[in-house]
Amino acid sequence: MTKNSIFTGAATALVTPMTETGVDYEALGKLIEWQINEGIDALVICGTTGESSTLTDDEHRQVLKYALEVAKGRVPMIAGTGSNDTAYAIDLTRYACEIGYDAMLVVTPYYNKTTQKGLVAMFTAIADASTKPIILYNVPSRTGVNIEPATYAKLAEHPQIRAIKEASGNISKIVETAAVVGDKLDIYSGNDDQIVPIMACGGKGVISVLSNVMPRETSELCRKFFEGDVAGAMELQKKYLPLVNALFCEVNPIPAKAAMSAMGFCQNRLRLPLVPMEDAHYEMLLQRMRALGIRV
């Protein structure tokens, strides 16, 4: 049985603008408006790029609620509700469902990690509590745990588990995953340097950091591919690669927030342990943005 896609194309894993004292809601609202006006296909609020791990519980809920109020149903809205504390992830998931999110992005447990059996138990418990679709988020470089293809196959049987954000970087494993899950789970790239390769494996698009800076262009890259212009999509993938590399030259979202600040969207303010990027890296980032015609 085919499950309906949450979105096709590019979803921005949105930065969370901050001030010295808290979240900058005015900046967040303007950023959401710009993203939607630029034609982004979906938005992820309070993901890794949104610094969810250092938001207080009140902030997390308020940011989710505010973003939904600004978006007004114009694009699919996805809430980052994952945690290494399963009970907390369930709590956040229930809240995001209640206020009207279209889907949840749930990361593998970090630091405490778990076994493959534990991943099935955790994701099942969260999906059981959700009235909306779940996107599993696999990012072993951050969490220290990897979802194996056989584990995806088990999780694909749950009616609420609909998709994967794959940021392992391992194309061979992603091909194997696509083979075992078939049309039961959509696959989204979690790496901006692999958008076209993962779509070529049957992927439905990307959950992107690049699209913070270039929402229209990232969406267009996906659109070209789905309209059959694979060569054109690959040309854009290669064209944007230097900027993608700059956006990941330090830990995400350090460069992304620097880029959005340079574009005038927010302050270049992060929460510890994240700190602003090195001057040399910042200059490289600005050069690569300018090379693509971005005004900074």
pLDDT digits (tens, 9 = 90+) for 107-146: 999 999 999 999 999 999 999 999 999 999 999 999 999 9
List all residues 6 or more positions away from 32 whose beta carbon is below 8 Å from its beta carbon: 14, 43, 67, 70, 71
Cis before 273 (ω within 30): yes
Name the helix (H) or strand (E) containing 105: strand 103-107
Identify whether 137 is a catalytic site residue: yes
- Split at pLDDT 50, 70, 90, the class of 262 is very high
- With a cut of 50, say whether residue 1 has pLDDT above it: no
Q: Does residue 253 contact residue 51 with C-beta atoms inside 8 Å?
A: yes
Q: Which residues pair with 59 in a beta bridge?
A: none
Q: Tokens representing 232?
A: 């054109």
Residue 4: per-residue pLDDT: 85
Question: Where exactly are the structural domains of the chain?
Answer: 9-229
Q: Percent of the chain beyond pLDDT 70?
A: 99
In this predicted structure, the answer to whether residue 2 has a pLDDT above a threshold of 70 is no
Calculate what percentage of the chain has a pLDDT beyond 90. Answer: 99
In angstroms, rounded to a whole number, what is the distance separating the alpha carbons of residues 80 and 92? 9
pLDDT classification of 84: cutoffs 50, 70, 90? very high
Local structure of residue 96 (DSSP, 8 states)? H
What is the SS3 assignment for 122?
A: helix
Residue 144 · residue 112 · CB < 8 Å: no
**Which of 41, 48, 30 lies closest to 264 in space, CA to CA?**
30
Q: Summarize pLDDT for 13-51 with one digit per residue, the tens.
A: 999 999 999 999 999 999 999 999 999 999 999 999 999
Burial 80-94 (b: 16+ CB within 10 A, else e): bbbbbebeebbbbbb
Reported in sequence order, the residue ranges of 145-215 that DSSP labels E, i.e. its strands, are 161-166, 186-189, 205-208
Q: Given 154, 165, 184, 257, which residue is catalytic?
A: 165
CB atoms within 10 A of CB 153: 17
Report whether the peptide linkage leading into residue 133 is cis, meaning its omega lies within 30 degrees of zero: no
User: Helical H runs in 130-170?
Assistant: 140-143, 149-155
Catalytic hit among 101, 132, 137, 154: 137
CA–chain centroid gap for 184, Å, is 20
pLDDT tens, residue by residue, 138-179: 999 999 999 999 999 999 999 999 999 999 999 999 999 999
Fold classification of 9-229 is TIM Barrel (3.20.20)
* 182 exposure class (CB count in 10 Å sphere: 0-12, 13-18, 19+): exposed
Cα–Cα nearest to 75, from 54, 101, 99: 101
Mean pLDDT of the chain: 97
Question: Cα dihedral sign for 43, 44, 46, 51?
Answer: negative
